[in-house]
Amino acid sequence: MLFLGFSAGLPFLLVFSTLNARLADVGVETATIGFFSWLGITYSIKVFWAPVVDRLKLPLLDRLLGKRRSWIIFAQAGIATGLYLMAQVDATAAPEMMALCGLLVAFSSATQDVAIDAYRIEIAEERLQAALAATYIFGYRLALLVAGAGALYLAEFWSWQVSYEVMAALVGVGALTVLIVREPSVNHFAAAQDIAHKIEQEAAKLTHLNPRLARLVGWFYAAVAGPFLDFFRRYKELALVILLMVAVYRISDIAMGVMANPFYLDFMGFSKTQVADVTKIFGFFMTIAGSLVGGVMVVRYGVRRILLLGAIMTAATNLLFVVLAQYPPNIITLAAVVSADNLSGGIANVALIAWLSSMTSASFTATQYALFSSLMTLPGKFLGGFSGIVVASFGYAEFFLVAGIMGVPAILLAIFMIRNGHRLDALAPRNESKPDAEAESP
């Protein structure tokens, strides 16, 4: 899981902040850079093709590797191909081709995430899932360090072409892992399949559908409609408020992140090495520290209070960038602001993940969490696409001010969640059990 986590994390920054730094470094217009952030929307809508990854068997690869490993290595082939092509493209002469290559990487990476999540759930029993998830996250963070600071160092001392070629080669770490590890033998969490079979039987009885159409009805309900219906039936009128909270909580953070590297490199004038040192390496450890602090605080004070604290800190740290934009470049000041930003981000993310996890039903854990994770990044990614226009029209200070103000709805909704905590606790799923894995064992 350490190496698969590395494989999952490697492509993310290469189509997001590292790509933005590359585009700014070679002279691509700021407004155009902002639109490139829409590549990240692919990660936010992966839930739409997740059922295909879960059900469809790839020809030949499925027989050689099995369902999960075949999809993972198929996605890795797309990532490596896309990164290699990005290394060869001149972004200033052909920004459209760069965007298409980036889309191939983003789509393949999001598909890999779906397959690895399924692999992690199915490879071991429930009591080991927390350890597997923790190892996966650590590998993911290491990959972010390599794709962030590592890519910037390679670009500084060699070129962007060499940087992206090395990143394409590093996809081999995940591919080698897939070839070595074993395929899961049992689907431990097969509740959706049971539900699909029941709906298929009922559809065939009540509507006299032919078997194929009945199976399609059952599959659609279990994969698509079931998670939504379960969520809305459970939380009733609070469901829309919860979804709104999920949608707006990270808008401020994600929108600001789109213009962070262009701000450091283009406006402030820091070198790629300085940006890598402060924002990637130092920022990496500050994010880990924020995650640890957030985890302890959630246990001590409860998830909703820390959810509110994270929302306040995220909006406040965006305002620190407004101050930073008013003064001449100073590496110490940059380090202080980046520290506050990453510390608050770590606290907010831990609280958000803990809160979302507590609201998922055992019958739809993976699907509902995928829906939540898609929704929590989609609005920020979409609005982030216009960030370059805001910067070009008004300036960086004004943009960061707007990004900070965008965090106010999350603060207000977090207060609402605290005030309605008893109602939410009463509606939350309790004592749900996973399907019995032993009954399905060979």
pLDDT band, residue 197 (cuts 50/70/90):
low
Transcribe 160-198 into DSSP letters.
Answer: HHHHHHHHHHHHHHHHHHHHHSPPPS--S--HHHHHHHH
Query: What pLDDT is attached to residue 188?
Result: 44
Note if the pTM is more than 0.75. Answer: no
Q: Which of 98-107, 197-206, 263-272 has the lowest mean pLDDT?
A: 197-206
Write the secondary structure of 327-370 as one string of H (helix), E (strand) and C (coil).
CCCCHHHHHHHHHHHHHHHHHHHHHHHHHHHHCCCHHHHHHHHH
Identify the burial level of 209 via C-beta atoms within 10 angstroms of its C-beta, where 0-12 means exposed, 13-18 middle and 19 or more buried. Answer: middle
**Cβ-based neighbour number of residue 319 at 10 Å:** 15
- Say how far apart CA 376 and CA 356 lie, in whole Å: 10
At residue 320, the 3 state secondary structure works out as: helix
354-to-11, 304, 401 alpha-carbon distances in Å: 25, 10, 29
For residue 428, the 8-state DSSP code is S
Mean pLDDT rounded to a whole number for the chain: 79
How is 22-84 classified by DSSP, letter by letter?
Answer: HHHHTT--HHHHHHHGGGGHHHHTGGGTHHHHHHPPPTTHHHHH-HHHHHHHHHHHHHHHHHH
Asked if pLDDT for residue 434 goes beyond 50, the answer is no
Distances (CA, A) of 328 to 203, 336, 400, 440: 68, 15, 17, 65
| 391 three-class SS | helix
What distance separates the 2 farthest-apart alpha carbons in the chain? 74
Q: What is the DSSP letter of 131?
A: H
- Res 156 pLDDT > 80: yes
Least confident residue range of 215-219, 292-296, 396-400: 215-219
Residue-level pLDDT at 163: 92
Query: Using CA atoms, how far apart are residues 386 and 411, in angstroms rounded to an integer?
Result: 23
Residue 11's closest CA among 98, 112, 88, 85?
A: 112
What pLDDT was estimated at residue 83? 93
- Position 145 scores a pLDDT of 85
Residues 128-151 have a mean pLDDT of 77
pLDDT at 440 over 50: no
Neighbours of 88 (CB within 10 A): 11
Three-state SS string across 244-265, please?
HHHHHCCHHHHHHHHCHHHHHH
Question: What percent of the chain is modeled with pLDDT above 70?
Answer: 81
| pLDDT at residue 194, rounded to an integer | 55
Average pLDDT value for residue range 377-384: 76
User: CA 165, 170, 173: angle at the middle one, nearest 5?
Assistant: 160
Q: What is the mean pLDDT of residues 376-398?
A: 80
Tell me the percentage of the chain whose pLDDT exceeds 90: 17
| Separation of alpha carbons 194 and 440, rounded Å | 12
Average pLDDT on 369-380 reads 75
